[in-house]
Chains A and B, each alone.
Chain A
Amino acid sequence: MALPHEFGDLEQWVADWAIGEEAARNRKRLASSMGQLQAYYDALLPRMDAIIPHLNQYSLHALAPAEQTLLDLALMFMEAAPAVEIYRHPDVPWGFVAERFHILPA
């Protein structure tokens, strides 16, 4: 199992949605259908109040692999959220073209 055992219900999302970098998470969002984004959002939202206290037990800079994967799922939830809650579309509907908008890590 890639996740802490309390979060086995989320194991099915790990392969495609546990992504470690913002630019890659954004590409995943833009490449997904609304159905896929809604399903991911619906699966993660009710678990966030369990995920966060679980992860808060550990140092953010020394997470074990299972916890790091869980954090990546939570960050991907935040990436999916504007598409589902605000835009009702994978991308910003009339936004500046994504391919010319470069996202760089800190």
Chain B
Amino acid sequence: MNKPDFDTLHPYVRQYSDLGTGPVPVAPVVSPEYFERERETIFRKIWLNLGRVEDIPNPGDYVVRDIAILKASIILVRGDDGQVRAFHNVCRHRGNQLVQGSGNARGFACGFHGWTYDTQGQCVFVPDEEVFFNLDRGQVGLSPVRCETFAGFVFVTVNPAAPPLAQYLGGFGEQIGDFPFHTMRRMHTLKADVNCNWKVFIDAFQESYHGRFVHRLTAAAAGCVEDDPYAHLTSVRLYGPHRSASVPFNPGYQPTPAEALSFKYAQSLWLHEGNSGAQRTPGTNPAGHPNWLFDINVCFPNFFVDVSNSWFFTYHFWPVAVDRTHWEYNFYMLPPANAGERISREYSKLYLRDLLREDLSTVETTQAGLASGAIEHMILSDQEVAVRHQYKVVDDMVNGRWRG
């Protein structure tokens, strides 16, 4: 079997020596004060992903995102001019919330006093306008939120000084930007409110070390082999605050009968033309590794866009409190051309859904353990470089040391 082409057990500390090797403090995941500093120094300063352009495909389509860490409710809306914009969901009159959920509308009318705005955020009607004092409707449009799109992903920031989105994404955006996201369709959404810190939650998804244990009945077989029993990451790339890692494929993997059916009629979750490193979908497997399962792509601070040959998924980890996170997952595949592909894709979708039940099983107990004060540090291996990177970037930003 092919072994990863490393001449050391610690390739990543060599590659990223300034991250160090020491233990990492627990305090940032249990301290309410640190959480508030994260709110101010990170989440209020940075680009945050709120979805994809396909969420609001037609003029008048809108979706409301309530973002607890910003203490803000934001409307994403596609105007009659086709442009995607974001606004605070706050009436300019006395601050009431305008709308909830999602749909298609010609505008938004406040339920309190009927002030009405169009899909470009302009105020178009103020009932009983003449009893105001020289009110100029042109000056009381919805408060805009900076909104930019990259590869179809819609990001917002409440920081007027944030660099342009493409500059923020930098090399990370360049690596994944050509992936054919727009050709795929969402298959389902999963959500959970979980009692753990957003960083503890993220850690469960940015290493492969857990695979042999948490996924011992499932994905362990897809990545672990006799001379690589812990499915070492075959590539880790850090791009400023962002990171990407590749997970290996076990070329001896034997699908179950249902997965074999899935692979017979379409590409399957784990079995696909990219396994051998050839026929790579653009934006995947940056190292061209010959045994490739999928890439973990972490867009700082809280957004994953993991990619394979014929699917991608996103995770959003929305901090609610130091020990509470709202998690949302969206899974996308090429739209099925026929029933056989639809049935094939169902296997992939459900297998991954059940895998996530496994992943979510460790995070609340981990948070409880860390909150008990029993330990003051976490011990991280070379394979857990992504975990180490996240804590360093966060701490640098919280303490004003981050220089990009």
Does A pair with B?
Answer: yes
A binding-site residues for B, Cβ under 8 Å: 22, 45, 48-49, 52-53, 55-56, 58, 60, 63, 67, 71, 74-75, 77-79, 81-82, 85-87, 92-96, 98, 100-106
* Chain B residues in 8 Å Cβ range of A105: 188-189
Query: A95's closest neighbor in chain B, by CB?
Result: B357
Contact string against A for B residues 353-378, beta-carbon threshold 8 Å, 1 for contact and 0 otherwise: 11011101100000000000000000
How many Å lie between the Cα of A72 and that of B308 in the bound state? 27
Do A75 and B336 form a contact, CB below 8 Å, given A86-B218, A92-B358? no
Query: A82's closest neighbor in chain B, by CB?
Result: B354
Do A60 and B339 form a contact, CB below 8 Å, given A82-B350, A94-B358? yes
Q: Is B22 an interface residue (CB 8 A)?
A: no
Query: A94's closest neighbor in chain B, by CB?
Result: B361
Q: Determine whether the beta carbon of A75 is less than 8 Å from that of B343.
A: yes
Give the dominant DSSP class at A's interface.
helix
Q: Is B257 an interface residue (CB 8 A)?
A: yes
How many Å lie between the Cα of A62 and that of B116 in the bound state? 40
Partner of B258, one of A81, A87, A101, A103: A81
Output the least CB separation between A79 and chain B (Å).
Answer: 6
Which B288-346 residues sit within 8 Å CB-CB of chain A? 336-340, 342-343, 346
* Chain A residues in 8 Å Cβ range of B287: none
Q: Determine whether the beta carbon of B193 is less than 8 Å from that of A100.
A: yes
Q: Determine whether the beta carbon of B191 is less than 8 Å from that of A104.
A: yes
How many Å lie between the Cα of A94 and that of B69 in the bound state? 30
Nearest 6 A/B pairs, CB to CB: A95-B357, A55-B339, A96-B360, A81-B258, A85-B256, A92-B357
Known: A52-B340, A100-B194. 5 other contacts (CB 8 A): A48-B261, A75-B342, A93-B217, A94-B358, A102-B190
How many Å lie between the Cα of A101 and that of B194 in the bound state? 9
* Chain A residues in 8 Å Cβ range of B353: 103
Q: Determine whether the beta carbon of A60 is less than 8 Å from that of B186.
A: no
Q: Is B239 an interface residue (CB 8 A)?
A: no
Q: Is B192 an interface residue (CB 8 A)?
A: yes
Output the least CB separation between B3 and chain A (Å).
Answer: 27
Query: A25's closest neighbor in chain B, by CB?
Result: B350
Q: Determine whether the beta carbon of A95 is less than 8 Å from that of B191.
A: no
Q: Determine whether the beta carbon of A95 is less than 8 Å from that of B339.
A: no
A53, A102, A106 pick with most chain B CB within 10 angstroms? A106
Q: Is B380 an interface residue (CB 8 A)?
A: no
Q: Determine whether the beta carbon of B360 is less than 8 Å from that of A103.
A: no
Q: Determine whether the beta carbon of B190 is less than 8 Å from that of A96.
A: no
Q: Determine whether the beta carbon of A106 is less than 8 Å from that of B342.
A: no
* Chain A residues in 8 Å Cβ range of B190: 101-104
Do A100 and B192 form a contact, CB below 8 Å, given A52-B340, A86-B218? yes
* Chain A residues in 8 Å Cβ range of B342: 60, 71, 75
Partner of A74, one of B185, B194, B343, B351: B343
Q: Determine whether the beta carbon of B347 is less than 8 Å from that of A101.
A: no
How many Å lie between the Cα of A103 and that of B351 in the bound state? 14
Q: Is B72 an interface residue (CB 8 A)?
A: no
Q: Is B265 an interface residue (CB 8 A)?
A: yes
Output the least CB separation between A53 and chain B (Å).
Answer: 8
Q: Determine whether the beta carbon of B256 is less than 8 Å from that of A81.
A: yes
Output the least CB separation between A12 and chain B (Å).
Answer: 21
Q: Determine whether the beta carbon of A86 is less than 8 Å from that of B347.
A: no
Contact string against A for B residues 9-25, beta-carbon threshold 8 Å, 1 for contact and 0 otherwise: 00000000000000000
Query: A84's closest neighbor in chain B, by CB?
Result: B258
Q: Is B187 an interface residue (CB 8 A)?
A: yes
Q: Determine whether the beta carbon of A60 is less than 8 Å from that of B350.
A: no
How many Å lie between the Cα of A97 and that of B258 in the bound state? 25
Q: Determine whether the beta carbon of A52 is less than 8 Å from that of B354.
A: no
Output the least CB separation between A34 and chain B (Å).
Answer: 15
How many Å lie between the Cα of A74 and that of B261 in the bound state? 11
How many Å lie between the Cα of A48 and that of B189 in the bound state? 27
Q: Determine whether the beta carbon of B217 is less than 8 Å from that of A106.
A: no
* Chain B residues in 8 Å Cβ range of A95: 354, 357-358, 360-361
Q: Determine whether the beta carbon of A102 is less than 8 Å from that of B191.
A: yes
Do A78 and B346 form a contact, CB below 8 Å, given A94-B358, A95-B357, A106-B189? yes
Partner of B188, one of A82, A96, A106: A106
Do A86 and B256 form a contact, CB below 8 Å, given A60-B337, A105-B188? yes
Q: Determine whether the beta carbon of B346 is less than 8 Å from that of A75.
A: yes
Q: Determine whether the beta carbon of A101 is less than 8 Å from that of B361.
A: no
How many Å lie between the Cα of A87 and that of B189 in the bound state? 23
* Chain A residues in 8 Å Cβ range of B338: 55-56, 60
* Chain A residues in 8 Å Cβ range of B194: 96, 100
